[in-house]
Amino acid sequence: MHIDRPGADPTPFGSYPADDVTFVLKDLSHVELEAPLEDREEAIQSGRHYSEMLPIEYRPTERYLALFHETLAESAERVALAAGVTAERVLAERGPDVVLVSLARAGTPVGVLLRRYLARVHGLAPAHYSISIIRGRGIDVNAVTEIRRRHPESPLAVIDGWTGKGAIQKELTAACAPGQPAAALGLDDRMAVLADPGWCAALWGTRDDFLIPSACLNATVSGLVSRTVLNREVIGPDDFHGAKYYAELGEEDLSRHFVDTVAACFPRVAVAAAAEAARLDAEADPPTWAGAHDVAAIGARFGLDDENLIKPGVGETTRVLLRRLPWKVLVHPGRESEVAHVLRLAEERGVPTEAYAAMTYSCCGLIKPLR
């Protein structure tokens, strides 16, 4: 479902069932925003903001799709356990009236999984909205305002997929600082994620840097929705941030298949998830930002002054290989089995890999400096 403008009734958008998620985004499906990879990279490194345009959607090869299915079959229960732990921790902190607010689009499938877990294991039916947050531009305050209008008393929980070096966590913290509009609307920066290899989130299901299969693909595992857009030529001051719905990719869509496969494991992991969540809550292990320190060291080691060219973690490395100009991929020795799809993508694109052990992550993607 979809809310296109403040106060509007939800309408069909994306490929998830209506109960799974409502996207609070302006529909830009009719606008040409895609740019070829090289042109887009040149524009970004020349100062244009990445959110003003879209990459051309990667169309995976049959070999790569086979790897997605293999990985999903192997890791579904592991993902289900991490999702269950995250959901249990969110429920314990926010209570049964919680409204899930996922960050489109990597956070959208995770928000769907948390909602399904809470429904199946606890009999709850929390509302789930997916909104935009953009590095360097902030969270969509208009979208938060709309959610608060619809749920004036409910606690809000921000959900994302995983952490890299913590850029989105920093953006959320800035948006929720005292005196900011999002803070006045009852939003806080205690983000919940499935995986926190960057050691910077408040709530997490695991800190292992492993492949969450939804990171393998783009729109075809995220409800056929593009990444979010903030381009002032098409987004006015009273609009939500925008996104496109790629209905033409319907035959390739794996969004429901992914969440259905993982959710089928919830009954088997529920007891273990509750126990692990209780253990983590009791330990109260705070963020150390270890990942950000590792990124600074990587920048010094490889002569990259711009940390935006360093994308740590399995999820972020995958994004580099799918929609940026990768220079090389660093792989933690001994964790090759965790990053098989990364190695496959690097091989397909002719990107060299290099062993590098001094990081918390399983891998790290480095973007090619054009200057």
**pLDDT averaged over every residue in the chain:** 91
- Please report, as a single letter, which amino acid is at residue 9: D
Do residues 71 and 211 touch, judged by C-beta distance below 8 A? yes
pLDDT tens digits for range 289-310 = 999 999 999 999 999 988 889 9
Distance between CA 75 and CA 73 in Å, rounded? 6
Helices 62-94 and 340-349 cross at an angle (nearest 10°) of: 140
Task: Scan for tokens 């309408």, then name that residue.
Answer: 11
pLDDT tens digits for range 176-220 = 999 999 999 999 999 999 999 999 999 999 999 988 888 878 899
Q: How confident is the model at residue 338 (pLDDT cuts 50, 70, 90)?
A: confident
Distance between CA 273 and CA 318 in Å, rounded? 27
pLDDT tens digits for range 78-137 = 999 999 999 999 999 999 999 999 999 889 999 999 999 999 999 999 999 999 999 888
> 33-36: long-range contacts (C-beta < 8 A, 24 or more apart)?
33/226, 33/229, 33/231, 33/234, 33/244
Per-residue pLDDT at 241: 95
Tokens, residue 142: 């208009």
Indicate the pairing of strand 363-367 with strand 326-331: antiparallel
